[in-house]
Amino acid sequence: MPSWEKAATNLLGILHLNSIKSKIIVFALLATLIPSLTMGWLSYVHNRLFLDEKINQELLNATSQASRELDLWLKEHVYEVRVFSSSYVVSENLEKLLRPRLSRLEKTMANRRLMDYLKSVKEKFIDYEELMVIDASGKVVATSFEGETNVTMPQDWRKRAQARKSIISSPFLDQTHKTGVMVIAEPIAPVHDQFLGVLAAKLNFRGIAEILKNYSLDKTDEIYLINKEGALLVSSQPLSSGFMEDRLKKSTAALLYAREAVRLNYSSHNGRGVVGTLKKVSQMDFGVVAEKEREKAYADISELHNLTIALVAGLLLVIGLMAYLLGLTIVYPLNRLISGADKVSAGDLDFDLPVMSGGEVGHMTRVFNHMVGRLRESRAELDAINETLRERNKELHEISIRDSLTSLYNRRHLMETLSTEVTRSRRYRRPFALLMIDIDHFKQYNDTYGHLAGDDVLRMMAAAFKNSVRGCDYAARYGGEEFAMMLPETGPDGAMQTAERIRTKVEKELFTCDEQTVKITVSIGISTFPENGDDLNALISSADAALYQAKEEGRNRVILSENKRSKSP
């Protein structure tokens, strides 16, 4: 006996795997377990990397777009305040108020004009909580607010104003209006080269909240604006504690700022485990943070992990049971043959064996049983092959009559079906309608978004057509972006109603491509049997002519053919 065979036999003996049945079971389990776990692990790693990249791209897109939008938002309001401050009403009346020898009545009138101007501007711009005119000493001269008010200006506001630069304060909770604001101020046009003061606006964050809501990834996700200390200024979700009360940990905020545009795992301001990223706003000392709840973000991969474990466990159970049963089918006949061979070798011929003879009979029985087993296995394999062939033939038949892209019937099957329907309707004198449907501006859509996006539109159109007709109706892809529908037992009125319902449904659908919402429309031409002909060619020609007319009249419409009936010879 070779040394390796002896070592293997000893090992199998230690593991109590001497019997054929136990060897078959262990081999089957190992043959199932090793590739299943390997493929499951590779699938998990691949899907995890893909999901990480997808989440990172979603977060980066949301923060980048929101950051750009906030920059534009701030620039617009700075420009508005600059326009307000350059008004002749502001500079003229402020200059009057600063004259030392102006009468009390004139000062009152000048102050009233300033207040009226500020109020009229405030009424037109809802993003401003309050507009005020501040003189060079920092005193509020006029305001749009009726009541006592105050304002917090940056320490260097006079220096910036005298240099004709914009003044932007840090956010703060305004006690007058009980809301978070930031002050934007612009120097008032000087009179006689004299610095008069600034026009300041308390800008609320409602506009920013709307911007963040527009770029929120999902109803359960959150995108918000923070400062470098981690205080939340505004969020797409309601803040639980109020303006600048909800906070990220300082270490978390510092890490987000330090690793801008990088996806990080951390605890959010409400204690949830999240994945998020930050993008700085160039015009403000803030950062836009987009977050997804970690558990929900990786729910798919967790589900895949659990499903893989369940599948492997199920496979082990099924394969183990099958191996056990297979072992029994091998061991029991062998035991019977060994018992018969022992009886024969002992000279005992009183047993029931298929062939009763000497020692050669035992060998022949083994060969016979083995041959029968092989024949049985061959028959099972042949049955499996035949079943596979039947399934393949069924699939080939479906492929031959179906369009591979839309799963609708193809043109060849359409022509056969229409021909059959014409014969049936002519025999029983029953009507039916043929609809030719064409997607408007489909070439332009393909050129703009690419053929893959065009294929998605074709598939979605096919699904929409299936859901818009009766079970007895027939839909097929005629070619390119053109579809055909046959409506049995349907006259002109019913065909018009169905076609209009399809056109309206498609018009209301919104298709998304490259994160842009695109509206698709269709044009439909209708011919009916027997009004527009009692043969296949006449019906198709009439429907095509009606479709062409719909295109000529501006698309996104339904046209019923007016061609006269043309009988076949």
169/181 Cα distance (integer angstroms): 9
Tokens of 272: 């949830």
Cα dihedral 408→413→417→420 (10° resolution): -170
Structural contact between residues 78 and 169, judged by C-beta atoms closer than 8 angstroms: no
Active site residue 260: no
Q: What one-character-per-residue DSSP string does 216-230 give? A: -SSTT-EEEEE-TT-
Rounded-to-integer distance, Cα 94 and Cα 256, Å: 46
202, 181 in Cβ contact below 8 A?
yes
User: How far is residue 492's CA from residue 270's CA, in Å, rounded to a whole number?
Assistant: 62
Both tokens assigned to 293:
């709840």
Q: What is the DSSP letter of 350?
A: -
The catalytic position among 58, 421, 481, 531 is: 481
CA distance 302 to 420: 53
**Geometric angle at alpha carbon 112, from 110 and 113, rounded to 5°:** 65
User: What one-character-per-residue DSSP string does 121-155 give?
Assistant: HHHH-TTEEEEEEEETTS-EEEESSSS-------T
Show which residues are catalytic: 481
